[in-house]
Structure 1
Amino acid sequence: MLAGPWASQTLADLGAEVIKIERPRTGDDTRAWGPPYLHDNDGNVTGESAYFLSANRGKKSVTLDIATSEGQAIVRKLAEQSDVFIENYKVGDMARYGLAYSDLRAINPRLIYCSITGFGQDGPFSQQAGYDFIVQGMGGLMSITGERDELPGGGPQKVGVAFADLMTGMYATVGILAAVAHRTETGEGQYIDMALLDVQVAAMANMNLNYLVSGKTPRRQGNAHANIVPYQAFDARDGQIVLAVGNDGQFGKFCEIADCAYLASDPRFVTNGARVTNRETLVPLIQEILATRTIEEWVTPLAAVGVPCGPVNDIAQTFAHPQVLYRGMRVDLPHPLSGSVPTVANPIRMSGSPIRYRSAPPTLGQHTNDVLSSLCGIDTDELDQLRKDGVV
């Protein structure tokens, strides 16, 4: 639902021409994942969900029923001319439609074919459907996310966005670009097998190694860091602040600004290892100190001496932040239904080939006629007949 579209949106931002194949009449499931929905120029609700708009910028929408022989023939015609084929179906579905890698490789040996599933193309769970929420649970992420069991609100939590989907989309993008580089050298396409569970396990990063090295299963720490102290959210006088002390020097500077230099010289807290060991003693002391000033009274002096810190913003505050505004993270694009639609900038900044936003997320079937006539040579009469037959 998101991993494949996220990968293809990233490729579109980087300059690829992306053709999105959708079901006739209904389209991508996420078009209906609302509210909220985009409003048209008259203030009426459209069928464009915010969820769909988040992952489909820069694409051309073609409606096509791939369950029909005519639809399959059109996909093969497009694949014959394409560099990359991305599919997000369950294992074996593409083969049922005659669109498996072996089918398409026969007509385009240079094709890079990327399959994205919950559990991969093989193994005991390969036939099961996998969704982000399930994979966050199975892959260990929820076991380390959320407050400790013994505290109010304790228990496993999912991340607030579809972390496994988004990371799989990013890894798929990297794999596809690596395959393009390989093809440039060898002339050969290849098959890429991406699994949400594989990605979720890989993305546990230092928490994986904490377990593999120590043999101890990591526990939830709430907003605290497992290996660094103090590195968590604290309550200031007017809201929450994140204090991220990354080394002993920063801890000393924090203690100077906080008028608690005695903590920096205390043997229990003088090194990060000691602070981690004595976390339960140190954190309440720091919380008591931080509660005496406002967020701004902490952020300004701490930032001035190089101690990483910042407020816990909601999304509205994030988009109003001066740095976010300066970096242009909101991008408004022309849209046929609403005049314009807000999108969020791609964070990749390149000097020689900067990101260009060529079009808003497409309306359903917006480019069907153009793509099928220009790339497949289908004339107006044929298109009319395909439409009558429900193929497009």
Structure 2
Amino acid sequence: MSTRDDMPKPLPLEGVCVVEIGHSLAAPYAGMILGSLGATVIKIESAEGGDYARDWGPPFIDGAAALFHAVNHGKSSIAMSLSNADEADALRELIRSRADVVLQNLKAGGTEKYGLGADDMLRMKPSLVYCNLGAFGTAGPLRDKPGYDPLVQALSGLMSFLGQPGEPPSRIPVSVNDMGTGLWAAIGVLAALFRRQATGEGEVVSVSLYETAISWAGIQIADYLASGVLPGRWGSGTAAIVPHQAFECADGTIMVAAGNDRLFRRLCDVLAVPALAADARFATNGARVQNRVELIELLHAEFAKAGSAHWLAALDAAGIPSGPLQTIDQVVAHEQTKALDLLRITDDGAATVVGVPISFGGARPAQVGRTPKLGEHNHLLAKTPLETP
């Protein structure tokens, strides 16, 4: 028989209702985070095809792109046309009667056009937390410009220091600004909900892809403003720590992060080149940064003398952070991934997704749900009780 202490705790956001007027990735990712933490998330989609991301494949699972499943599981779906006055009225009533939070990432002015903007919604419901997720923020010459992650990676400078010296520009092949903006949205919403507990008042939270991208580049920007020197392109390495990059062994590539002078001396001992640690060109991290090219050539030559398994075992024994460069199939099969219970199957068994990277009391939130069909929950506009998808 279970005791009270054995009973699972409710998730932190149980009882919170989120209406997501969102598409693509930023707002849906924020909605997925809040839903995984226990909130009920009602997704508003266009009746003409739904969220664009439903078609962002292959691969497709059960008629929708795998990407769509990854960030929309556990939600309800209402398909509607905001330009239909009756349907817009019904959505306003849904928000008034049930919503604690609204997430929206329509193009600039999109929600205001239909009487669903932040000012209108907070006048109607002063306790509402309303979050705008935009491309370039709420001020400035680009405020009305549409934008996607690759464009923002270019405009923010992120692409200027990505890749190897001399290579053509490339982008980070993860939508870091979309997903990062979703994270900032979730943080802002949680902070606003926390304040609402004390004041009873809602507020407007605003985040954008451009602001997120600038924040990712914060260290490089601080370095440039201090030195006047533009950031370099270091491939797998980093500007301010050497050696802290990938090395080619006789049979593969490994990552080595000798992040301080003590670890560098240990690395030199492992490679049987202790004289390098005493060399004035390499004795301190500052000196190693100044003489990066020469040092890295010497280290590459040593790593090439043996296989990756040999070096990884020796580096582990010496306490030097290191590891192999794994492909995604290796990552999902890795015992560490399994031990952390990171991969979750949707309740209908259709898709496997990555769970939220947070645990409470040693347990990851188990709420996964399933991915809704387009318009599957239109009945929620008729003021029926909320249902778990």
Do both proteins adopt the same fold according to a TM-score greater than 0.5, normalized to the shorter chain?
A: yes
SS at match of 2:350: strand
The answer on 1:17 being equivalent to 2:33 is no
Question: Which structure 2 residues correspond to residues 80-119 of structure 1 after superposition, within 5 A?
Answer: 80=96, 81-119=98-136
Deviation at 1:354, TM superposition (A): 4.5
Residue 313 of structure 1 aligns with an amino acid whose one-letter code is Q
Per the alignment, residue 345 of structure 1 pairs with 355
Per the alignment, residue 386 of structure 1 pairs with none
SS at match of 2:88: helix
SS at match of 2:358: coil
Residue 78 of structure 1 aligns with an amino acid whose one-letter code is L
- Partner Cα separation in structure 2 for residue 35 and residue 129 of structure 1: 25
Per the alignment, residue 365 of structure 1 pairs with 375
Q: Which runs of 5+ in 2 are unaligned?
A: 1-23
Deviation at 1:318, TM superposition (A): 1.0
Q: Give CA-to-partner distance per residue, 1:254-276, whole Å, 9 cap, x none.
A: 11111111111111111111111
The alpha-carbon distance between structure 1 residues 236 and 353, as it changes in their structure 2 partners (threshold 3 A), is closer
SS at match of 1:21: strand
Q: Give CA-to-partner distance per residue, 1:307-339, whole Å, 9 cap, x none.
A: 01111111111112221121122111232xxx4
Q: Give CA-to-partner distance per residue, 1:215-257, whole Å, 9 cap, x none.
A: 1111211112100000111111221111111111111111111
Match of 1:240 among 253, 265, 274: 253
- Partner Cα separation in structure 2 for residue 373 and residue 104 of structure 1: 18
Deviation at 1:27, TM superposition (A): 0.9
Give aligned-pair identity as a percent. Answer: 36
- Partner Cα separation in structure 2 for residue 284 and residue 71 of structure 1: 65
The question of whether the paired residues in 2 share the 8 Å contact of 1:86 and 1:115 is answered with yes
The question of whether the paired residues in 2 share the 8 Å contact of 1:78 and 1:375 is answered with no
Deviation at 1:368, TM superposition (A): 2.1
- Partner Cα separation in structure 2 for residue 272 and residue 77 of structure 1: 61
Match of 1:50 among 66, 71, 76: 66
| RMSD of aligned alpha carbons | 1.5
- Partner Cα separation in structure 2 for residue 267 and residue 174 of structure 1: 46
TM-score (norm 2): 0.90
The question of whether the paired residues in 2 share the 8 Å contact of 1:20 and 1:60 is answered with yes
Per the alignment, residue 188 of structure 1 pairs with 201
The question of whether the paired residues in 1 share the 8 Å contact of 2:102 and 2:130 is answered with yes
Per the alignment, residue 383 of structure 1 pairs with none
Per the alignment, residue 384 of structure 1 pairs with none
The answer on 1:135 being equivalent to 2:152 is yes
Question: Which structure 2 residues correspond to residues 105-184 of structure 1 after superposition, within 5 A?
Answer: 105-149=122-166, 154-184=167-197
- Partner Cα separation in structure 2 for residue 291 and residue 61 of structure 1: 55
- Partner Cα separation in structure 1 for residue 228 and residue 291 of structure 2: 21
Residue 84 of structure 1 aligns with an amino acid whose one-letter code is V
TM-score (norm 1): 0.89
SS at match of 1:340: coil
- Partner Cα separation in structure 1 for residue 313 and residue 233 of structure 2: 31
Deviation at 1:369, TM superposition (A): 2.2
The answer on 1:203 being equivalent to 2:216 is yes
SS at match of 1:85: strand
Q: Give CA-to-partner distance per residue, 1:260-306, whole Å, 9 cap, x none.
A: 11111111111111111111110001001111222221112212221
Q: Which runs of 5+ in 1 are unaligned?
A: 39-45, 377-392
